[in-house]
Structure 1
Amino acid sequence: MSAFACKDLTVGYGDGAPVIDGLELDMAEGAVVALLGANGAGKTTLLRALAGLEPARSGAVFLGGRDLTNLSTEDRVRSGLSLVPEGRSVVVELTVDENLRLGGLWRHRARARKAAVEEMYELFPPLDRRRDAAGHTLSGGERQMLALARALMARPEVLLLDEPSLGLAPQATAQLLGVLRATAARTGLTVLLAEQNVTGALSVAQRGVVLSLGAIVADRPAAELAADPALRHAYLGF
């Protein structure tokens, strides 16, 4: 059984044409899948629909065999699904430590929450050095680390990431993606990673899925996808 799947998923806005049209996707436990495509391909819409932020016109979403289709976003999080949206979403008025504790508020009791926070500091040493710093004082890379760490505090089974490297320096991007790959390998976390940084995404993924106009046009091993110049030129722009 798949760890995470959507079946015949169709999503659109208003009465317009569907942005996602009959999409089928299956992900195994512990898989890191790169979701690729040009701007406007439907990547963000797909992630928002999977997280329950956009209603689906039809189709279904499953996590470990559980049907999430009619659940709210909050209940999907409680079921083990977390989304880190584009934009380094942290509570800028709170400190790093407060953001992390907020992320684990409903998942952990106080002692376990403290241990989980310390685990995040081990994963992200730059955050450890900024424990008492307010979110608005962090660099772009630090904010993205905090957004990812806060999502991991909820102990998700499936993590959806929308453009985590956007605007980051190459070193920060490499560090972030490296932590993501190591966490998935160590914990069995399943990751769907939407990225414009195709090379970075394919370097940490086992598999690449290419979207074009709301449909999957390629679903292949990451190394094979990276080595196909015709496909890259046609759909990924390089």
Structure 2
Amino acid sequence: MSGALAFSALTVGYGGEPVLHEVAFALAPGEVVALLGANGAGKTTLLRALAGFVPVRERMITLDGRDLMRLRPEDRARLGIGQVPEGRSVVAELTVDENLRLGTLWRHRGRERERAVAEVYDLFEPLARRRTSDGHQLSGGERQMLALGRALVSRPRVLTLDEPSLGLAPLVVAQLMATVRDTAARDGMTVLLAEQNVTSALSIADRGVVLNLGRVVADAPAADLSADTALRHAYLGF
């Protein structure tokens, strides 16, 4: 499963001054890249631009060499771009099992759908125990597991996650991060992880890309970013 993703001199804005300025970096198939930076750095805007939800002013985003710029959000999803937005978005009125099956509607049929759902239950035992519970009955950690599971059942080529650790207990965060890392390694899934929990993100990432005021100020192996004291203090807050 290929998932080479590239941003080429990307400039994005909602009107007035751009939020992102000529952002350029690439992700290889199976690579986990942590997208880092303070609030307002442009992390969420970049993920929304990839999904097709905000206007791009200049240049392009490509997946395996294919220009995505003229594609609607639903067409990008069909190409294999999955997302876990901030806020643990699940359908509160549907059960765990129904939420998961939503993620399989256009990607799987029959036995393949059942296999994909079963794999998520194997990954997240709490969801297996609560498969008939409605979304509003879940804890914060269970809702985040469900949001991630619903993205994974579609078997995305590229997965984006926006602040998945926000408000969660450290043990839950560790489980979620390990699942992301293991799935990327197993399936060759490319991952772009926007996260303010820098230590947690860099612990599973191959590389880190640091944004500041909408510009890339660093792009380096995760270990190098962790060891760069000056950069950490200047842009990452630790």
TM-score (normalised: structure 1): 0.98
Corresponding residue number in structure 1 for 2:4? 3
Corresponding residue number in structure 1 for 2:178? 178
Q: After TM superposition, list the pairs within 5 Å mapping 1:114-153 onto structure 2.
A: 114-153=114-153
Residue pair 1:2, 1:26 contacting (<8 A) in 2 also: no
Residue pair 1:36, 1:194 contacting (<8 A) in 2 also: yes
What is the Cα deviation at residue 110 of structure 1?
2.3
**Distance in 2 (alpha carbons) for counterparts of 1:67 and 1:190:** 17
- Deviation string 1:80-133 (CA, Å, 9 cap, x unpaired) is 111211000100100000000111111111221111100110111111111001
Q: Percent same amino acid at aligned positions?
A: 68
Corresponding residue number in structure 2 for 1:18? 18
- Deviation string 1:116-170 (CA, Å, 9 cap, x unpaired) is 1001101111111110010001111110110011011111100011000000000
**Distance in 2 (alpha carbons) for counterparts of 1:220 and 1:37:** 14
Residue pair 1:92, 1:136 contacting (<8 A) in 2 also: yes
Alignment-mate amino acid for residue 123 of structure 2: L
Corresponding residue number in structure 1 for 2:95? 95
Q: After TM superposition, list the pairs within 5 Å mapping 1:167-206 onto structure 2.
A: 167-206=167-206
Corresponding residue number in structure 1 for 2:213? 213
Q: Which runs of 4+ in 1 moved over 2 A?
A: none
Residue pair 1:2, 1:65 contacting (<8 A) in 2 also: no
| SS of residue in 1 equivalent to 2:41 | coil
What is the Cα deviation at residue 2 of structure 1?
7.3
Residue pair 1:30, 1:188 contacting (<8 A) in 2 also: yes
> Is 1:46 aligned to residue 39 of structure 2?
no
| SS of residue in 2 equivalent to 1:210 | strand
**Distance in 2 (alpha carbons) for counterparts of 1:205 and 1:138:** 28
> Is 1:75 aligned to residue 67 of structure 2?
no
**Distance in 2 (alpha carbons) for counterparts of 1:199 and 1:183:** 20
Consecutive unaligned residues of structure 1, counting only runs of 5 or more, are none
**Distance in 2 (alpha carbons) for counterparts of 1:235 and 1:3:** 27
C-alpha distance 118-27 of structure 1, shift in aligned 2 (>3 A): same
**Distance in 2 (alpha carbons) for counterparts of 1:68 and 1:152:** 21
C-alpha distance 112-211 of structure 1, shift in aligned 2 (>3 A): same
Corresponding residue number in structure 2 for 1:109? 109
| SS of residue in 1 equivalent to 2:174 | helix
**Distance in 1 (alpha carbons) for counterparts of 2:91 and 2:142:** 13
What is the Cα deviation at residue 217 of structure 1?
0.2
Consecutive unaligned residues of structure 2, counting only runs of 5 or more, are none
